[in-house]
A and B are shown apart, each in its own frame.
Chain A
């Protein structure tokens, strides 16, 4: 079972990706739209392992870094929601070229759910798996601003000397962001318009009135849902990841 690192050309840049291709014929193909900022780093291992477990069950998975993130090319402030949608489109092209006749699924994680949904609206994905989707961009942004302010003042982070410099407006959770990106995030809201409810699987600890319309709800165990706040990176919960991979893969591979 092998994963294949690759470059995905987009505009004048290259995106870094990892393709998890099953040994036997793939029965479905998944593009992972990762979360952003600190959530990207915290969840990287979780989704690498989940991709591997889906691969074992006959599902091809492509994980990639948006431009300006991870190992992709571009400065940090090259990331924007608009560009991320374009990047996801290129990832779809790569997967479609290799796996023509299988259902294509977009797995959108947190803010990545908004990016994955854009592809679904364009009719380029057959199904949507939404993992703890961010539905209110302004509230999410506000929460991160408060989080960052606490971090800047934290005696656990700055043990000896307090930071004399003020918070940089262009910084979010320690990452350099463009003004465009911050504006886009503030204006991003979930909408069910244009998305077939029957195509949506919601992965979340619980469902409430603001959750996207969905046909199926897969409850997430605490080990898989607490990472957006705090993930213990030293211990990845392999058991729950395997169980979840089976729950997601079985219906699409016809097990």
Chain B
């Protein structure tokens, strides 16, 4: 049975740490960043539930609000990655955790990526609807989808696009905090080299991801590494609106954590 603890992060900010009530602890702490502007309990309470289930299985999990989101009233001029690493420092200082799995959904996946690159304490990356480029795999998948439509619907789509197409096209990379195209391959390979466990999942709500081939096309051959896990759930939306999807996600992440981070009798200060 897990229990939640309030953790003071200073500067009038706090977070909630879910820990196993038993002595067994994997020594790994999962940090879930904000999904967009949704506060720390997550879309449809996903983070609160996931944290508690991970804690029940012996993996601590921490959720907190970045400056300017949820209960973190004040904004900050400090780079977000620095703020997140300061959160890791607090967990290390107060509870003894020094191995972290970081990330989450959408912007949290982007931030998790940056923190993973920057901080050697990160041993796992949780990326849901994270970075993917729209290369040939995407174009072919899109063409296939268009061809599946009836000619009338295709014509309707074309007319709608013609009417509403912006003069300047805004791509997903413009709206997200992604590195310049091409850099992600080197960064991905460096994470593999470091032995960072990677969990990548793309939902059907990520309109920029249509085909499994995009994953390899984006990150290169390093996706074949044993430390990389990939899922594509086209039937699922971006925020896990359906309870069955939330359950499946929690179960899948729980299984991944169990396989990749063995339990041992724990480290941290209790």
Contacts and interface: CB of A to CB of B under 8 A. Distances in A.
B235 A45 contact: no
Interface string A91-126: 000000000000000000000000000000000000
A137 B43 CA distance: 24
Given A7-B6, A16-B4, 9 more contacts: A5-B14, A45-B37, A76-B49, A151-B241, A159-B204, A159-B237, A168-B243, A171-B243, A174-B44
B73 interface: yes
Interface residues of B, number: 34
Q: Which of B14, B241, B244 has the most A CB atoms < 10 Å from its CB?
A: B241
B38 A41 contact: yes
A179 interface: no
Q: Which of A7, A48, A71, A73 has the most B CB atoms < 10 Å from its CB?
A: A71
B44 A71 contact: no
Interface of B: 4, 6, 12, 14, 16, 36-41, 43-45, 48-49, 69-71, 73, 145, 204-205, 207, 210, 234-235, 237-239, 241-244
A193 interface: no
Contact of B39 (A41, A73, A164): A41
B1 to A, nearest CB: 11
Nearest to B241: A174
B73 A48 contact: yes
A197 to B, nearest CB: 34
A3 B41 CA distance: 18
Interface string A145-177: 000000110000111110111001001001110
B205 A157 contact: yes
Given A160-B234, A160-B235, A3 B73 contact: yes
Contacts, number: 86
Contacts of A6: 6
A230 interface: no
A218 interface: no
Interface string A37-57: 000010011001100100000
A237 interface: no
Contact of A1 (B12, B16, B38, B71): B12
A52 B45 CA distance: 24
B44 A233 contact: no
B205 A45 contact: no
B244 to A, nearest CB: 6
B91 to A, nearest CB: 16
A171 B36 CA distance: 23
Nearest to A6: B6
A153 B87 CA distance: 40
Given A160-B235, A161-B204, A163-B235, A71 B40 contact: yes
